[in-house]
Every structure is written in C-alpha cells, then in structure tokens.
C-alpha cells in the first residue's frame, strides 16, 4: 500500500495568511487568493497537472499583489516538497509544449531536490505584473526543490502567461507520476 502523497502548509505573516492543501494523487481545484487572474492561472496548473490543489489566501492587496503571490509560492513549494516525501517511484522528469493561439510555452521539470528556475521570454503585464509572474515561479522552485526551464513567446500577454502555467502543469504532472519503486537517481537520492 502506497503512502498518501498529500500535504497541508499554512503560512501566516503580518502581510498574508495562506493555507495550501495538495494531493498528488487526486484531481480537483479550489483556489481563492483574492487575485482573480492568479486564481485562473493556479486553476490551470492544477487542471493540467491533474493534482488536487486547494489554496486560500488573504493578503494585503490594498498595498499590492506581490506579497500574496510570493507567500502562495512559498507555501505551495513547501507543500509540494512535503507531499513528495522521499520521492520514491516518481518519474522525476516531465516536459510539455503548449500552444495557445499566438503564444507558445515550453517547459521542462526535474524534481531534483535543488531549486533552480530558468526563464526565457518577456511578457507585458497582464492580470498580474510580469515581475511577479517570474518571482512566483522562482520562489516556488526554490521552496519545492524543483529545477524548471520555462520559455515563452507570443503577442498576447494573457495567452503567454496561461500557456506557461499550463505547460508547467503538464510537465509537473508527468514528473510526479509514480512509474517505479526506487528513487530515479544514480546517487540513490534526490536532494
């Protein structure tokens, strides 16, 4: 019998109170960050990765979106890391190419245990600022221990961001799939 790959992480600061529940073996989403566009992107990630994801965040949106996006990324990253446990049996690697009208996103994920984010592209501000889009992925990768390469091209900023979240979701979903019994590393561990 396999161990449940589920985790709950709560992060509460003076700026943001966020709770993330993740289940790597279910498929559902319930997202409320107070930033509608960000909710839409996180729903896309959950849908295309085929994971269960609940996020409830209350942040100082009267100041700006940055704190909420950052703290969601931290909590989600920690929840992913916790849910993956010893990483035994996971595929480890995943990739995706997602076209969306004028945009195309290419993503590769390695659940290496070492957080690194490599991004290529430039997106105009859409439902969230471009700098916060990049900061979300970078912060998520560092806290989850994911190595992610993401490249995007296009014209419409909404399509570019959405294609990016979908590509990341598909690649992540492939990487967390159970395909064996052992840790997929010559070293014998992913850390």
pLDDT at position 146 over 90: yes
Domain tally, the chain? 1
Q: Which DSSP string do the residues of 120-168 spell out, in sequence order? A: E------SS-HHHHHHHHHHHHHHHT-EEEEEEE-S-HHHHHHHHHHHH
Query: H or E segment at 171?
Result: helix 157-176
Question: Cα(54)–Cα(171) distance, rounded to whole angstroms?
Answer: 20
Specify if 189 maps to a domain.
no
Specify if 83 maps to a domain.
yes
Which domain CATH number covers 29?
3.30.230.40
CA atoms within 13 A on the CB side of 47: 11
Give the confidence band of 181 by pLDDT, cuts at 50, 70, 90: confident
- For residue 89, the model assigns a pLDDT of 86
Give the confidence band of 3 by pLDDT, cuts at 50, 70, 90: confident
Specify if 182 maps to a domain.
no
pLDDT at position 184 over 70: no
Give the confidence band of 188 by pLDDT, cuts at 50, 70, 90: low
Give the confidence band of 166 by pLDDT, cuts at 50, 70, 90: very high
For 181, the token pair is 């019994």
Specify if 37 maps to a domain.
yes
Question: Cα(116)–Cα(142) distance, rounded to whole angstroms?
Answer: 6
Paired residues of 72 in beta bridges: none
pLDDT at position 1 over 80: no
- For residue 9, the model assigns a pLDDT of 98
Sequence-distant (≥ 6) Cβ neighbours of residue 155 within 8 angstroms: 102, 103
Specify if 102 maps to a domain.
yes
Specify if 54 maps to a domain.
yes
What percentage of the chain has pLDDT greater than the value 90? 84
Question: Cα(164)–Cα(190) distance, rounded to whole angstroms?
Answer: 25
Specify if 79 maps to a domain.
yes
Average pLDDT, the chain: 94
Domain limits for position 32 = 6-176
Lowest mean pLDDT among 21-35, 43-57, 173-187: 173-187
- For residue 189, the model assigns a pLDDT of 61
Specify if 186 maps to a domain.
no
- For residue 110, the model assigns a pLDDT of 95
What percentage of the chain has pLDDT greater than the value 70? 95
Question: Cα(172)–Cα(182) distance, rounded to whole angstroms?
Answer: 19
């Amino acid at each position: 019998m396999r161990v449940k790959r589920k985790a709950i992480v709560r992060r509460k600061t003076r700026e943001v109170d966020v709770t993330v529940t993740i289940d790597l073996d279910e498929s559902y989403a319930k997202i409320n960050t107070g930033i509608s566009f960000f909710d839409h992107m996180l729903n896309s990630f959950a849908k295309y990765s085929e994971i269960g994801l609940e996020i409830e965040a209350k942040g100082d949106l009267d100041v700006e979106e940055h704190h909420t996006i950052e703290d969601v990324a931290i909590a989600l990253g920690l929840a992913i890391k916790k849910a993956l446990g010893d990483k035994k049996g996971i595929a480890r690697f995943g990739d995706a190419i997602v076209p969306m009208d004028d945009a195309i996103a290419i993503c590769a994920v390695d659940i290496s245990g070492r957080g690194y984010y490599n991004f290529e592209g430039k997106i105009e501000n859409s439902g969230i600022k471009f700098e916060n889009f990049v900061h979300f992925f970078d912060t998520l990768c560092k806290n989850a221990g994911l190595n992610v390469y993401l490249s995007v091209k296009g014209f419409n900023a909404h399509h570019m961001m959405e294609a990016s979240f979908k590509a990341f979701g598909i690649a992540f979903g492939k990487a967390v799939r159970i395909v064996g019994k052992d840790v997929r590393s010559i070293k014998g561990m992913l850390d």
